Chains A and B, each alone.
Chain A
């Protein structure tokens, strides 16, 4: 199954605590398609007590069977990347909105939807064009037993409906032909 790996840099910021008991919490705020040449944990700026830190880079994997989800993401008003952080370390990055929502259901970890960089959107578009297979949703309904989709087995199984061994030990077809 084709997949593509993209590395993204994550920028996090933390606000000054609103009371003396709370600590600073680092939350992802942006993702960069171009990786900066700086180490993980390097402070990037500080203004009005808001500290911005480079949280390091992490792999984002595009899977060909999730292209439908990527289309949903790109068609949203604000296409996003979901970044999951455990103890200040980036664990998962995904552009599948449903996987992102599933990650967010864990109250123990910080999950933020950050804006999708346009370069990544372009790569996703290319990936979708290459691998997307449209799957039609069929709503299954009850049909009367007399209709064409009769669920009952035939009373007499005809010869062409049988399971037959078409390749014997010799590798030839039935009757030594083929």
Chain B
């Protein structure tokens, strides 16, 4: 029975990780640039179940159906680009220290160098942008990236998340939800908030179960 259940859960974990990667990729996509009309159409057809995350997707689908691609683009501009600065500064360094390009970014770059991950040519946002974090988390969930070489208790996906994202990501999504210009992105913030909440608790749980060793996977 025991061995059978282990065999049965292995593909389940892979499937879960693939779904987590999808979630993170979705966040990376909408937080790096505004969705176009085609993507808004696709989002409008999403259906959610009765869970908190499902409800959040339901709200997103409704908002996507009601909004125009041009308005969403303007909203993205107001939130993240702006004149001088956007309404939000979605950088780990800013949330943790109050200033951009501070030590959290240096720490992240050191860890990324250990993992062998680097910024693509032609992308100008610093690595501690929430979208690039989401992309890294997607890569970690898929297994494209490997956080095992990180030391000092940050080894593995859970360690990377706990060190670099957990201290500020909740606050960021809360801020995104209450930003004056946010409409479509309020729904995104709700998804991000719920999803990262699940991730945080799942990583905690996995760490407790494994007893501080590298968590094999964080279920979502």
Contacts and interface: CB of A to CB of B under 8 A. Distances in A.
Interface of A: 145, 151-153, 155-159, 162-164
B211 interface: no
Given A145-B98, A152-B98, A152-B99, A157 B82 contact: yes
Interface residues of B, number: 18
B98 A156 contact: no
Contact of B179 (A145, A152, A156, A164): A156
Given A153-B85, A153-B98, A163-B83, A158 B180 contact: yes
Interface stretch (B86-94, B119-127, B136-144, B193-201): B86-94
A25 B145 CA distance: 85
**What is the interface of chain A mostly: helix, strand, loop, or mixed?**
loop
Contacts of A152: 98-99
Contacts of B178: 156
Nearest to B88: A156
Contacts of B180: 156, 158-159
Contacts of B175: 155-156
What 9 A-B pairs come out closest when comparing CB atoms?
A152-B98, A163-B83, A157-B87, A159-B180, A163-B84, A156-B175, A155-B175, A156-B179, A156-B87
Interface string B172-193: 0001001111000000000000
**What is the interface of chain B mostly: helix, strand, loop, or mixed?**
loop
A155 B85 CA distance: 11
A156 B178 CA distance: 8
A137 to B, nearest CB: 29
A152 B96 CA distance: 11
Contacts of B82: 157, 162
Given A152-B99, A158-B180, A159-B180, 5 more contacts: A155-B89, A155-B175, A156-B88, A157-B82, A157-B86
B88 A155 contact: yes
Contacts of A155: 88-89, 94-95, 171, 175
A162 B77 CA distance: 13
B77 to A, nearest CB: 12
A164 B171 CA distance: 27
B151 to A, nearest CB: 31
Nearest to B87: A157
Nearest to A158: B180
B192 to A, nearest CB: 16
A162 B180 CA distance: 11
Nearest to A160: B180
Contacts of B181: 159
Contacts of B84: 162-163
B85 A157 contact: yes
A145 B181 CA distance: 28
A164 B84 CA distance: 10
